[in-house]
Amino acid sequence: MWGPFLGFAGTASLRLIWALAAIGIWLMSRPGGWAVVVVAILVGLKLVPEP
């Protein structure tokens, strides 16, 4: 019963991860893009709640 749902969720999350990795690599190749990547990582870490 849960197999197709979990498979779809896994595929969707993997696509999202690959898309974010591709955007990160593209930004790193642009002038000043590394700063955008660093700020995005820092904001992401700030938004993740601490245990």
pLDDT digits (tens, 9 = 90+) for 15-51: 999 998 999 899 889 999 899 989 988 998 888 887 7
The predicted structure's pLDDT at residue 22? 94
Both ends of the chain: CA-CA distance in Å?
Answer: 32
Give the Cα separation of 49 and 29 in Å (integer): 31
The predicted structure's pLDDT at residue 35? 92
The predicted structure's pLDDT at residue 42? 92
Give the Cα separation of 12 and 29 in Å (integer): 26
The predicted structure's pLDDT at residue 7? 84
- Whole-model pTM above 0.85? no
